[in-house]
Amino acid sequence: GAVVSQHPSWVICKSGTSVKIECRSLDFQATTMFWYRQFPKQSLMLMATSNEGSKATYEQGVEKDKFLINHASLTLSTLTVTSAHPEDSSFYICSAVLDRNSYNSPLHFGNGTRLTVT
Amino acid sequence: GESVGLHLPTLSVQEGDNSIINCAYSNSASDYFIWYKQESGKGPQFIIDIRSNMDKRQGQRVTVLLNKTVKHLSLQIAATQPGDSAVYFCAERNMNTGFQKLVFGTGTRLLVSP
């Protein structure tokens, strides 16, 4: 079946540094990728929608200058957390879909990246 | 605002029992619902889905029921196994707000005792 890979699976960084998280669709071309954030014991909250070759669409309350998203190819989207602070510590999950407008195009999730900012 | 919520935060069952996890949604325009299983430290795993033109759908050991009248969704797991222990999320999608853009419920933790 379709696989979405995230890298790294976990990362620890110091406050003020930037961290890049990669999301790759391994066996299909993902026209759209979604980035979610999940705090402990909470649900997934959509941060932004990433479309290949265009600017990402951010959800209300998500700082686009802090969470930089690049979707340069049909198999790769990256999320960069700039000037990370401890409150950015969270579980970041991406998902990918071939055809965002089709019910028959399932959404595949990566296994997440645990970010800890010290 | 629109929301998808669950009645029970934690459900504890014995191995072999049937489990029922509930979800209430408030957006009457929601037309597609999905149940996900999330194990610790992993991403959500698709279990089963149902469109709004259906009221029941069955998979292997799982059944999803949709009651649009009361905006209620449930996931039934037959003969629950220890490997079913996880957090279960319902998610809804509304084609009017965006295709694959999902709104997730708060989650229910299922604990299965051997």
The secondary element (H helix, E strand) that includes residue A45 is strand A45-51
Question: Which range has the worst mean pLDDT, A25-29, B43-47, B108-112?
Answer: A25-29
Distance from first CA to last CA of chain A, Å, rounded? 37
Residues in chain A whose Cβ is within 8 Å of chain B: 4, 6, 32, 34, 42-46, 49, 91, 93, 95, 97, 100-103, 105-107, 109-112, 114
Per-residue CA distances from A68 to A35, A71, A74, A77, A118 (Å): 11, 10, 17, 10, 20
Give the minimum alpha-carbon distance from B31 to chain A in angstroms, rounded to a whole number.
10
Give the minimum alpha-carbon distance from B17 to chain A in angstroms, rounded to a whole number.
25
Instruction: Kindly report, residue by residue over B58-90, the tens digit of the pLDDT.
Output: 999 999 999 999 999 999 999 999 999 999 999
Peptide bond into A8 cis (omega under 30): yes
Residues in chain B whose Cβ is within 8 Å of chain A: 32, 34, 36, 41-46, 51, 89, 98-107
B48 and B61 in contact (C-beta within 8 Å)?
Answer: no
Burial B56-84 (b: 16+ CB within 10 A, else e): eeeeeebbbbbeeeebebbbbbeebeeeb
Neighbours of B10 (CB within 10 A): 10
Instruction: Kindly report, residue by residue over A86-100, the tens digit of the pLDDT.
Output: 999 999 999 988 776
**Pairwise CB contact (< 8 Å): B99 & A112:** no
Instruction: Kindly report, residue by residue over A26-59, the tens digit of the pLDDT.
Output: 988 888 899 999 998 889 999 999 888 888 999 9
Identify the sign of the CA torsion B69, B22, B83, A25: positive
pLDDT of residue B27: 85
Express as a percent the part of chain A with pLDDT over 70. 92
Instruction: Kindly report, residue by residue over B22-31, the tens digit of the pLDDT.
Output: 999 878 888 8
Mutation target for A interface from B4, B37, B99: give the one with most A CBs within 10 A. B99
pLDDT of residue B6: 42
**Pairwise CB contact (< 8 Å): B101 & A49:** yes
Among candidates B34, B43, B101 on the partner chain, residue whose Cβ is nearest the Cβ of A111: B43
Distance CA B107, CA B104 (A): 8
Mutation target for B interface from A103, A104, A114, A115: give the one with most B CBs within 10 A. A103
B57 and B73 in contact (C-beta within 8 Å)?
Answer: no
**Pairwise CB contact (< 8 Å): A43 & B45:** no
Give the minimum alpha-carbon distance from B69 to chain A in angstroms, rounded to a whole number.
23
Q: Which residues of A touch B102 (CB under 8 A)?
A: 34, 46, 107
Give me A74's structure tokens: 């049909």
**Side-chain-facing half-sphere of A88: CA atoms under 13 Å:** 25
**Pairwise CB contact (< 8 Å): B107 & A106:** no
